[in-house]
Amino acid sequence: MRGSALSLGRVFGIEVRVHASWLLAFAFVTWGLAGGYFRLVGPRQAGFGTPLALGAISALLLFGSVLIHEFSHSVVARARGLHVRDITLFIFGGVSNIGGEARTARDEFVIALVGPLTSFALAGAFWLSAQAVGTAPGLGLLFGSARGLRTLSPAGAVLSYLALVNLVLGAFNLLPAFPLDGGRVLRSILWGTTGRYGRATAIAATLGQVGGYLLAGLGLVRVFLFGDLTGLWTVVLGWFLSQAAAATRREQTLRDSLRGVTVGQVMDAAPPVVEAGLSVREMVFEHVLGRVRRSLVVVRDGRPLGLVDVEAIGSVPRDLWPATPVEQVARPMPAPVSPDMEVADVLPSLEEATAPLPVVADERLVGLLDLAQVVRYARLRRELQVPVGTPRPATV
């Protein structure tokens, strides 16, 4: 998701990003409100300009509310000792990119629950603001007549919409379907009562898949039985939730299969390396073309300095190859890991990294680890039916 996201800067030290798909959501919400809700609010207004402007303002404030919802997760997560990478707004709302998992069930419960509570607080704030301008919003907007909507002022209509949508957002997120906040709350409760994080994750993710399928089915019913094309949005949302829950189940299965497995057992113990002082020309003909390799680790006296690949080489003019040492074109590598660490513990780093993780012992490179290796290892272990925790035979 990060590759197609634009950074808007940092707030409270947390980077805020907007994914390209957010533009589609913004246009969808703006157009839907302008052509429906705000046309009913101001039918006497000439033209489409005012409803469109009110729709755009409401859409921006809606996503501002989503951003505040995600900030509540991120701020509490950081207070609980977790690293928050960024917050990204995308087509289905927003997501807090939090590194690692909560250390305790209590931490996860608090981090998950604060989001819906924040949405409810925003709903209350917008409701009170609407009252201040003489509007009576709330659930009446769901069941009120078009005639009643005509009594709303433009400001009151915007505030009423935001009160209602934050109420719905908070309630929807409390559904016990992972990865919604309610699903995370459920996982924390199961984790706390059973002490089995993996089992709790599997149950919450299964409910998330079922919930996603039910939501998609509801959308199909709206489309085909009632001719409501907005049901397509429900179908896509249900599909997204089911896929996210399935991905969580796969990740947990991977973690379970790697329990007790160390980095040293899985890593590539003979990574392709090149000395830092070698020229780009020598590297190209001796290591890249000569051994058909696209990337190599740059080392000095066995210590990893960075990674050099075909793209980096291409940035150097051909006539400068003989005089350019490879360390000048090397890009930084991810933080190193120890061969004695458990693979399950470094999975978050592997998923975030854009390059293999260097495995270092006594400050010297002893191997490389990438996610593809880990997945292949886990798959082979399952195919060979090697039980979790089986020790590796000692070498003679």
Q: Is 293 found in the same domain as 250?
A: no
Residue 182 — φ and ψ, nearest 5°? -65, -35
> 299 - beta bridge partners?
275, 304
Average pLDDT over residues 180-209: 92
**Is residue 390 included in any domain, yes or no?**
no
SS3 131: helix
Q: Is 323 found in the same domain as 245?
A: no
Q: Is 149 found in the same domain as 39?
A: yes
- Out of 208, 237, 257, a domain closes at 257
**Is residue 236 included in any domain, yes or no?**
yes
**Is residue 394 included in any domain, yes or no?**
no
Specify the pLDDT at position 46.
54
What is the Cα gyration radius of the chain?
26
The number of domains in the chain is 2
Strands (E), the chain: 5-11, 14-19, 83-90, 93-99, 273-275, 295-300, 303-309, 357-361, 364-369
pLDDT over 90 (residue 4)? no
Q: Is 86 found in the same domain as 52?
A: yes
Q: Is 312 found in the same domain as 233?
A: no
Structural domain that includes position 277? 263-383
Q: How far apart are CA 52 and CA 30, in angstroms?
A: 7
Q: Is 47 found in the same domain as 171?
A: yes
Q: Is 248 found in the same domain as 272?
A: no
* pLDDT tens string 205-252: 999 999 999 999 999 998 888 877 777 888 988 898 999 899 888 888
- Out of 222, 257, 292, a domain closes at 257
Which of 40-44, 63-67, 329-333 shows the highest mean pLDDT?
Answer: 63-67
Q: How far apart are CA 96 and CA 73, in angstroms?
A: 7
Q: In terms of pLDDT, which residue wins out, 138 or 65? A: 65
Specify the pLDDT at position 68.
95
Residue carrying structure tokens 């979790």:
388
Q: Is 200 found in the same domain as 56?
A: yes
SS3 297: strand
pLDDT over 70 (residue 39)? yes
pLDDT over 50 (residue 396)? no
Q: Is 175 found in the same domain as 214?
A: yes
Query: What is the bridge-based pairing of β-strands 295-300 and 273-275?
Result: parallel
First-to-final CA distance of the chain: 47
Specify the pLDDT at position 239.
92
Average pLDDT over residues 156-160: 87
**Is residue 393 included in any domain, yes or no?**
no
- Out of 223, 257, 291, a domain closes at 257
**Is residue 51 included in any domain, yes or no?**
yes
Specify the pLDDT at position 139.
47
H helix count then E strand count, the chain: 16, 9
Instruction: State the pTM of this model.
Output: 0.77
* pLDDT tens string 84-105: 888 888 877 888 888 777 889 9
Q: How far apart are CA 241 and CA 167, in angstroms?
A: 20
Specify the pLDDT at position 395.
44
Q: Is 220 found in the same domain as 78?
A: yes
Q: Is 272 found in the same domain as 252?
A: no
SS3 267: coil
* pLDDT tens string 303-354: 999 899 888 888 888 899 999 999 998 888 888 999 999 988 888 788 777 7
Residue carrying structure tokens 């458990």:
342
Beta carbons of 118 and 132 less than 8 angstroms apart: no
Average pLDDT over residues 259-270: 89
**Is residue 388 included in any domain, yes or no?**
no
Residue % of the chain over a pLDDT of 70: 90
**Is residue 185 included in any domain, yes or no?**
yes
**Is residue 395 included in any domain, yes or no?**
no
Residue % of the chain over a pLDDT of 90: 33
pLDDT over 70 (residue 259)? yes
Q: Is 346 found in the same domain as 200?
A: no
Average pLDDT, the chain: 85
Q: Give the CATH number, domain containing residue 293.
A: 3.10.580.10
